[in-house]
Amino acid sequence: MAIIGFEEKEFFASGHRACAGCGEALALRHIMKAAGEKTIVAMATGCMEVVSTPYPETAWKVPWVHCAFENAAAVASGVRAALNMKGDKETNVIAIGGDGASFDIGFGALSGAIERGTKFLYIATDNEAYMNTGIQRSGATFPYAATTTSPAGKIIPGKQQPKKPLPFIVASHGVKYVASASVANLPDLKAKVQKALKVNGPTFLHVYVPCIPGWKIDSSTTIEIARKAVETNVFPLYEIEDGVLKFTQKPAEKKQVESYLIMQGRFKHLTPELVKKIQGYVDARFAFLEGIEGKKCFDVLY
Amino acid sequence: MAEKEKAEKVVISGADAIACAVKLCRPKVLPMYPITPSTLVPERLSEFVFNGEMKAEMIHVESEHSAASALYGAYATGVRGFTATASQGLALMHEILPIISASRFPAVMAVANRTLSGPLNIWNDHSDAVSERDQGWIQLYCESAQEAFDTTIMAYKIAETERVSLPVMVCIDGFALSHVYEPVQIEGQSKVDAFLPPYKPHNFLDTSDPKTFGAVAFPNSFFEFHEAEEMAMQEALKVIPKVNEEFGKAFGRKYGDGLVELVEMKNAEYALIGMGTLVGTSRVVVEEMRKQGEKVGLIKLKCLRPFPKDEILQACKKLKGLAVIDRHASLGYEGALTIDLKAALKDEKVKVEGFVAGLGGRDIDVKRLRAAVETIMKGEKGYWLK
């Protein structure tokens, strides 16, 4: 069933092997509806690549290419260069990687493709761990979340570091359009994809996608949890256009982070002290965003 | 854009020769990353592109890993590409090499052979390319700058022959050939165009006919992908000599049968075999020893993969001894070439001895090569030719 305002055609078809309730699959489906059929997708290795293309099947109704884990941005660079040489100025090129592929192993390739001014949209779908390999900690894992390599130990209670601020690192490259988006707000996601694709240069989207087994949540709660992430300022929705940050959805009334944490098995080890620490972490990050809201904070080079 | 129609003889380095050949082959996407001693190739190509002499898009990638990945992306989009690297750069590409070959993209890459660290060393041996011999790339080794030029043009033709559809590595010895200036006949554009028609891929990323590239293969299909590659490698053994002949007809130069070249092998009792520039030095050894009445010959191995087993067998049937010069050591056993040759000649009477030589740029001179021949003539064992 298509959502009002979205293209009825499917470009990421049903029948793929993602988990019921997968946030990432839902995001891809609607990203593709927003991008349309004149799009080539270069995807990093990860859950979505594995579930969507078990040879000889494919869920992709647009031309799609996968090479390896850390190189979606480099493959997209080759695709764009080839299109340029063919005189094709119309086709969208979208590179997609999970948080492991984008924040960690493919970080260099992403930075290089941006620095070269490649006309493409890079989408980092973030479910805050290496889910395809079985829920290991990444640079995007939320503080104190339990993963298989940052377990809720007796001495060390989950991941000890903050999330790498990838959107700001990308914005610092001088990118004209950077935005965060969530499966909890599909019209906002659609608008951002379409805005990004209009830019004649590199653009970046950071999309929050709950993971059923990774977050130890019920498959019916994907949207509810994603929405709660926005409402608690855990994952604020903003765009940085021409170097200026603007919120695209600001919670009317800020909810406590605990209401988000309590829904997920990966946080069930948290003590009241840790919850308080996380609240402080979230508040500080949000205060930073509010502090730069409306001001020109990044130089624009592309 | 001025295109040179007439052939001209110039004195250029081996790396320049490759760049000139690449320009004539008209690749459209050039992902490039500098590494000694292959850097002359991207430097020259950059000059061609930035001066408007060549219509291609350079991608100044941030690593060799991304160079191979962008090359993959370009071929997936259906255009001819090229890159060059060496040593650590090729090692960094390692992950992507079998993906390019399994995707059956007919990419061409030049490798200015340099050893692998450690310790750090920028000089020549074959450790980089030989370590990649199992990744589904055809590997052609060159002895001279002219051969580097000619082999690059042949490489595209071989790779793009439909029943092959495999990538090709054109290997030149770092410094010993990449930086050595020799007279090279640069052919005219129209003659090269006639030999190498535009690249016409059957499958590529196309929004009017969407296809999926790089799917996941489970155990029920993975094996067949590799079986198909192996069959293509076997086809390449037939196609390479054919392309070598065609090249000879078009340009008046060819290299043995394209796979191996035999020197003084007709009545030889003992022979040397090796790859790259050490073949040139070996020619001097053979000439000298022939003059002294020794029945010594030389096999130049131009194509390491696919391995021309039948041609080797034929050439070695009457030999008493074969000295294999390996510019690479498979640590813990013998040189890779020695291992291949011992396997190929296991049912023959010829005694095969391996000599690891030239590691990290150590000279392989006439004296050392002669010592290797004399060793097999005495029926003694091979050793490290330090």
What whole-number distance in Å separates Cα of residue A202 and Cα of residue A223? 29
How many domains does the structure of chain A reveal?
1
Q: CB distance B215–A56 less than 8 Å?
A: yes
Q: How far is CA B232 from CA B131, B219, B303, in A?
A: 21, 21, 15
pLDDT in tens, B264-310: 999 999 999 999 999 999 999 999 999 999 999 999 999 999 999 99
What whole-number distance in Å separates Cα of residue B120 and Cα of residue B132? 19
What whole-number distance in Å separates Cα of residue A200 and Cα of residue A180? 19
Of A84, A106, A72, A116, the closest CA to residue B60 belongs to A116
**Quick check: B1 pLDDT over 60?**
no
The answer to the question of residue A4 being in a domain is no
**Residue pairs between chains A and B whose CB atoms are closer than 8 Å:** 154
The answer to the question of residue A299 being in a domain is no
What whole-number distance in Å separates Cα of residue B288 and Cα of residue B370? 9
Q: Which one of B57, B65, B216 has the shortest CB-CB distance to A54?
A: B216
Decide: helix, strand or coil at residue A297: coil
The ipTM (two decimal places) reads 0.97
B221 touches chain A (CB under 8 A): yes
Domain span holding position A155: 23-292
Phi, psi of A247 (to 5 degrees): -75, 140
**Substitution target from B213, B224, B225 for chain A, most A beta carbons within 10 A:** B213
Q: Which one of A55, A64, A116 has the shortest CB-CB distance to B216?
A: A55
A62 touches chain B (CB under 8 A): yes
Q: Give the pLDDT of residue A254.
A: 83
What whole-number distance in Å separates Cα of residue B372 and Cα of residue B325? 8
Give A1 to chain B, closest Cα distance, Å.
23
- Contacts of residue B66 in chain A, CB cutoff 8 Å? 71, 73-74, 77, 108-109, 112
For each of chain A's 302 residues, which pLDDT tens digit applies? Answer: 667 789 999 999 999 999 999 999 999 999 999 999 999 999 999 999 999 999 999 999 999 999 999 999 999 999 999 999 999 999 999 999 999 999 999 999 999 999 999 999 999 999 999 999 999 999 999 999 999 999 999 999 999 999 999 999 999 999 999 999 999 999 999 999 999 999 999 999 999 999 999 999 999 999 999 999 999 999 999 999 999 999 999 888 889 999 999 999 999 999 999 999 999 999 999 999 999 999 999 999 99
B228 touches chain A (CB under 8 A): no
B260 touches chain A (CB under 8 A): no
Q: Which one of B71, B205, B216 has the shortest CB-CB distance to A63?
A: B205
Give A113 to chain B, closest Cα distance, Å.
8
The answer to the question of residue A182 being in a domain is yes
DSSP A134: T
The answer to the question of residue A145 being in a domain is yes
pTM above 0.95, yes or no: yes
The answer to the question of residue A238 being in a domain is yes
Q: CB distance B216–A74 less than 8 Å?
A: no
Q: Tell me, what CATH number does A237's domain have?
A: 3.40.50.970
Give A54 to chain B, closest Cα distance, Å.
5
Q: Which residue of B has its CA nearest to A62?
A: B210
Q: CB distance A82–B65 less than 8 Å?
A: no
pLDDT in tens, B83-121: 999 999 999 999 999 999 999 999 999 999 999 999 999
B135 touches chain A (CB under 8 A): no
B71 touches chain A (CB under 8 A): yes
The answer to the question of residue A231 being in a domain is yes
Q: CB distance B76–A75 less than 8 Å?
A: yes
The answer to the question of residue A85 being in a domain is yes
The answer to the question of residue A259 being in a domain is yes
Domains and CATH numbers, chain B: 8-251 (3.40.50.970), 260-377 (3.40.50.920)
- Contacts of residue A77 in chain B, CB cutoff 8 Å? 31, 59, 61, 66, 69-70, 73
- Contacts of residue A86 in chain B, CB cutoff 8 Å? 77-79
Spatial contact of A177 and A300, defined as CB atoms under 8 Å apart: no
What whole-number distance in Å separates Cα of residue A42 and Cα of residue A78? 10
Q: CB distance A75–B218 less than 8 Å?
A: no
Q: Which one of A40, A66, A78 has the shortest CB-CB distance to B31?
A: A78
What whole-number distance in Å separates Cα of residue B192 and Cα of residue B187? 7
pLDDT in tens, B40-64: 999 999 999 999 999 999 999 999 9
